Chain A
Amino acid sequence: DAGVIQSPRHEVTEMGQEVTLRCKPISGHNSLFWYRQTMMRGLELLIYFNNNVPIDDSGMPEDRFSAKMPNASFSTLKIQPSEPRDSAVYFCASSLLAGNQPQHFGDGTRLSIL
């Protein structure tokens, strides 16, 4: 079975540029999560979707961050404009149902903003 697929695996870009991270959840999963992981702040939930609808985006740092899920098999996380402090590993995860089901994580996108 294909797991959660994220792209790109690595992204290096200059500050001010737009960054788009992509995620394909496991087929049949109806909850999708975006996390950010840094040494300083650990694993932070940014936003999650149930059935393609954003449920809680309270973890989104600021207006520069936006996330969409246009259909059940695709989600994007955009940062515009990017800043060096956005450098982190961004994980996408999916599960059958938010809350009491295991979450399956993708390999992550390692983002470096210069």
Chain B
Amino acid sequence: GQQVMQIPQYQHVQEGEDFTTYCNSSTTLSNIQWYKQRPGGHPVFLIQLVKSGEVKKQKRLTFQFGEAKKNSSLHITATQTTDVGTYFCAGINNAGNMLTFGGGTRLMVKP
């Protein structure tokens, strides 16, 4: 079945440093979604990427979908303590019926 893997599992950064998490799928994806889960909270939808090579920005967050639609990345510029949480990617295969979540990257930011 489809597998979605994320690296790293954990990342500690100093406030102000950049952060990147990578997502890789075993199969070609029709689209990919990103979610953020704050400690003790629930996953919250951030963005969806659909097109090959697509890049989208939300303030300090930059999301990218690979040319082959099998990988994606989330980059945060100049992290802040409010960025703390676990970031999940979730891919939808070409059958378009199910979202498969990656294992998540837990980001910790030291003030």
Instruction: Give A contacts to B, CB under 8 Å.
Output: 33, 42-43, 45, 48, 55-56, 91, 93, 98-100, 102-108
Judge whether A42 and B42 touch: CB under 8 Å.
no
- Considering the chains assembled together, what is the distance between the CA atoms of A103 and B98 in angstroms? 11
Judge whether A45 and B99 touch: CB under 8 Å.
yes
Instruction: Give B contacts to A, CB under 8 Å.
Output: 30-31, 33, 41-45, 48, 88, 92, 96-101, 103-104
User: Chain B interface secondary structure, helix, strand, loop or mixed?
Assistant: strand
- Considering the chains assembled together, what is the distance between the CA atoms of A104 and B97 in angstroms? 16
Contact partner of B31 (CB less than 8 A), chosen from A33, A91, A100, A106, is: A100
Question: A99-B92, A100-B96 known; A43 and B101 CB under 8 Å?
Answer: yes
Contacts of B44 in A (CB 8 A): 105
Judge whether A99 and B97 touch: CB under 8 Å.
yes
- Considering the chains assembled together, what is the distance between the CA atoms of A98 and B92 in angstroms? 10
- Considering the chains assembled together, what is the distance between the CA atoms of A106 and B103 in angstroms? 19
Closest to A99 in B: B96
Q: Determine how close the nearest CB of chain B comes to the CB of A105; give it in whole angstroms.
A: 4
Judge whether B30 and A108 touch: CB under 8 Å.
no
Judge whether B97 and A91 touch: CB under 8 Å.
no
Contacts of B98 in A (CB 8 A): 45, 48, 56, 98-99
Closest to A97 in B: B96
Judge whether B88 and A43 touch: CB under 8 Å.
yes
Contacts of B104 in A (CB 8 A): 42-43
Contacts of A99 in B (CB 8 A): 30, 92, 96-99
- Considering the chains assembled together, what is the distance between the CA atoms of A56 and B99 in angstroms? 12
Q: Determine how close the nearest CB of chain B comes to the CB of A101; give it in whole angstroms.
A: 8
Other A-B pairs, 4, CB within 8 Å; known A45-B98, A100-B31: A45-B100, A91-B43, A100-B30, A107-B42
Closest to A110 in B: B40
